[in-house]
Amino acid sequence: MVICRFENGDEKFDRSLSSFISCFSDRFVGQLYDDTRWNCFDFIIEFMCFTNFRNFTKVAFVSEFMQKALNSAVSEMAEILEDGSTADSDRNMDQQSFAVSQFEIFTHEYRERKEVPQCDDHGSQNSQNGSCCSSPSSSGDCKKRIVNATRKLQRAVLALQRMPDSDVIKDMLNKMREISNDLNEHTKQEKAEFSTKTVPLPDFDPTDMKLLLGESEVPPSRTPFDEVEDSEQLRKDRLESLLFEAEVMLQEYDHIKNGLKV
């Protein structure tokens, strides 16, 4: 803008700039420089006055040369952010819709595959009112075992608290409380219902992707049911381990109790 005022612009501009810097050299001394009082903006305003371009104030300069461009930039940025927000919103809605459909598929498969199979003698006199289909690992039996173990542990804890204090008693109390808490936590997990957040749903439909990209391009994947089934098996194994630990601790408690009686 200032250079355009000079004929043979570069040479005259350079001389003018050198003269300006020479006149205002005190402003550029490192020890005296204070950017809160005189900075790059002040440099531009002073130089424009020095070249007799116009006697601008900072407010007038911003209003004439910068405000329009700034408003335009802000407007464009707002449009870009709005477009991005709309695209993100649509993408999130698509993902949620896909997750819901996959969850419905999972719940349907889970109900079908978790139905209790009936044996050949089911309903007959030999079945003892259908108990032939039951097993020690059934849900009802597990609940009874958990309740019984928890109650026995609680009674043992109360009894141990009344015994003479010792390191053995303290360790046994801590271990029994830990097992009891773990059993309670297992019960809470068993009561928890499935949701789109707790079931490991796929990010895409493997069948659709195979049709789109070809079967060789899509890595093998497991169904949500398989993942949940593995998780349930791990919980069952953990439960058996906890119940075994509880039984061991109760036997040790009986040993201590009987020893004190003697």
pLDDT value of residue 131 = 47
pLDDT value of residue 239 = 92
Cα–Cα distance, 78 to 84 (Å, whole number): 10
pLDDT value of residue 134 = 45
**Is this model's pTM higher than 0.85 or not?**
no
**How would you class 36 by CB atoms within 10 Å of its CB: exposed for 0-12, middle for 13-18, buried for 19 or more?**
exposed
Per-residue pLDDT of the chain (262 residues; tens, 9 = 90+): 554 554 555 666 677 777 877 777 666 666 666 666 667 777 777 777 777 666 667 777 777 666 777 777 777 777 777 666 666 677 778 788 888 888 888 888 888 887 655 555 555 554 444 445 544 446 678 889 999 999 999 999 999 998 888 888 999 999 999 999 999 998 888 877 788 778 888 877 777 777 877 777 777 778 888 888 888 899 899 999 999 999 999 999 998 888 765 4
pLDDT value of residue 84 = 62
Q: Which residues of 169-201 are buried (b: 16+ CB within 10 A; e: fewer)?
A: eeebbebbeebbebbeebbeeeeeeeeeeebeb
Q: Where are the domains of the chain?
A: 3-56, 136-261
The token duo for 189 is 């997990």
